[in-house]
């Protein structure tokens, strides 16, 4: 039923009204004030969140509460986005009467374009249904679905016109996976409390084992006399050395280390670090983090990236 109503309403929507609605939103210098009563109000709350998260500041205003002082939040540059099925609810009509006196423009997503609300609207985007989805044809079901789809279409169209990018979306969603992927840098994942896992290229194998084991990082960077990173030794390197040589304590450190390892800087994006680790024939589980002079700053493990949700 809801799919059928969506298809039928799509045929009734005037493309020009959608274009005009998008233009009003794009020209809005204030916020988009989303409003509606009952189930339409719940859809309006969702649309306010969608607009806000896609680059168009918006908030929800309850029509009933607006008549008891909350209309004071509406500023001259704000744009009203009203959702209503009948367009005749007392609270909605009274609110629009005041808003018209205030001079704010109104976009209405309406089931009944010829309603009182419609007559007080600047632009009407039709959201009509022939019947609701429930057997009694009473509960707002198909009508709210159509309103939601129309509202989301406006939000996404405006977002596209504004050139909204994934980086912008991530900025408003820092706790989400996309936000973490696009915002987190390597420096955000380094633990300053962990002892720097380094050892000199002149170190004995016992000293190397201590460097790998003590900070619990699973690896140690090897530095030269000028504190430049020239190699890395991981747990895996040690296991392979034991299988190859037997008693590794008798070996030279340089026989075991990986020379001139791939490294990253503090400013490297965490997602890029993950790609460096994975996009190669033999995957890397740990990367040295160095400064501009190739001095060691820390180690980034794939475990750190997984724990951060990258």
From CA 130, how far away is CA 218, in angstroms rounded? 66
Give residue-wise pLDDT tens across range 274-298.
999 998 888 889 999 999 999 999 9
219, β-bridge pairs: 234
Residue 175 lies inside a defined structural domain of this protein: no
Together in a domain, 34 and 85: yes
Provide the number of structural domains found in the chain: 2
Indicate the residue among 164, 195, 213 that finishes a domain: 164
Given this model, what pLDDT does residue 269 score?
Answer: 92
Given this model, what pLDDT does residue 248 score?
Answer: 86
Question: Would you state the structure tokens that stand for residue 61, as one six-digit string?
Answer: 């205003």
Residue 180 lies inside a defined structural domain of this protein: no
Give Cβ neighbours of residue 135 (< 8 Å, ≥ 6 apart). Answer: none
Residues 210-244: b if buried by 16+ CB within 10 A, e if exposed = ebbeebebbbbbbbeeeeebbbbbbeebbeebeee
Given this model, what pLDDT does residue 9 score?
Answer: 47
The burial class, CB within 10 Å (0-12 / 13-18 / 19+), for 162 is: middle
Together in a domain, 276 and 210: yes
Residue 268 lies inside a defined structural domain of this protein: yes
How far apart, in Å, are the Cα atoms of 306 and each of 121, 178, 189, 195, 299?
A: 51, 14, 11, 21, 15
Together in a domain, 103 and 219: no
Together in a domain, 159 and 46: yes
Residue 229 lies inside a defined structural domain of this protein: yes
Sign of CA dihedral 214, 215, 216, 217: negative
Together in a domain, 200 and 159: no
- Residues of the chain falling short of pLDDT 70: 1-12, 138
Residue 173 lies inside a defined structural domain of this protein: no
Given this model, what pLDDT does residue 12 score?
Answer: 56
CA 35 vs. chain centroid, Å, equals 25
Question: Would you state the structure tokens that stand for residue 254, as one six-digit string?
Answer: 């340089």
Indicate the residue among 130, 164, 198 that finishes a domain: 164
Given this model, what pLDDT does residue 7 score?
Answer: 55
258, β-bridge pairs: 232
Together in a domain, 100 and 190: no
The CATH number covering residue 142 comes to 3.40.50.10490
CA 279 vs. chain centroid, Å, equals 24
195 DSSP 8-state letter: P
Say what the alpha-carbon torsion angle 274, 275, 280, 285 is, to the nearest 10 degrees.
Answer: 0
The H or E element containing residue 300 is strand 296-301
Show the domain range for 125: 2-164
The CATH number covering residue 287 comes to 3.10.580.10
Give phi and psi for 110, each to the nearest 5: -125, 145
Together in a domain, 264 and 144: no
Indicate the residue among 164, 195, 226 that finishes a domain: 164
Give phi and psi for 200, each to the nearest 5: -75, 150
Given this model, what pLDDT does residue 216 score?
Answer: 82
Together in a domain, 131 and 243: no
Residue 92 lies inside a defined structural domain of this protein: yes
Residue 178 lies inside a defined structural domain of this protein: no
Together in a domain, 11 and 139: yes
Residue 172 lies inside a defined structural domain of this protein: no
Together in a domain, 12 and 150: yes
Together in a domain, 21 and 116: yes
Together in a domain, 200 and 106: no
């Amino acid at each position: 039923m809801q799919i059928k109503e969506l298809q039928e309403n799509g045929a009734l929507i005037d493309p020009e009204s959608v274009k005009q609605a998008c233009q009003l939103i794009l020209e809005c210098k204030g916020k988009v004030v989303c409003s509606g009563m009952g189930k339409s109000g719940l859809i309006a709350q969702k649309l306010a969140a969608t607009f806000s998260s896609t680059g168009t500041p918006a908030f929800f205003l309850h029509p009933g509460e607006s008549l008891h002082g909350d209309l004071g939040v509406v500023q001259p540059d704000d744009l009203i986005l009203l959702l209503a099925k009948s367009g005749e609810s007392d609270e909605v009509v009274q609110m629009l009467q005041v808003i018209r006196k205030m001079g704010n423009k109104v976009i209405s997503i309406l089931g009944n374009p010829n309603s009182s609300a419609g007559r007080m609207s600047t632009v009407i985007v039709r959201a009509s249904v022939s019947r609701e989805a429930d057997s009694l044809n009473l509960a707002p079901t198909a009508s709210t679905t159509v309103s939601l789809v129309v509202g989301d279409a406006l939000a996404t169209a405006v977002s596209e016109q504004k050139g909204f990018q994934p980086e912008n979306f991530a900025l408003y969603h820092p706790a989400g996976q996309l936000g973490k992927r696009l915002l987190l840098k390597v420096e955000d994942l380094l633990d300053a409390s962990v002892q720097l896992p380094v050892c000199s290229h002149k170190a004995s194998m016992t000293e190397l084992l201590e460097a790998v084991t003590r900070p619990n990082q699973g690896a140690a960077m090897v530095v030269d006399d000028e504190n430049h990173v020239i190699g890395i030794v991981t747990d895996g390197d040690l296991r392979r050395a034991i299988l190859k040589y037997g008693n590794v304590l008798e070996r030279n450190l340089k026989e075991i280390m990986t020379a001139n390892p791939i490294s990253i800087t503090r400013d490297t994006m965490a997602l890029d670090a993950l790609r460096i680790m994975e996009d190669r024939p033999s995957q890397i589980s740990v990367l040295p983090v160095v400064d501009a002079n190739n001095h060691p700053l820390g180690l980034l493990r794939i475990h750190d990236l997984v724990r951060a949700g990258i």
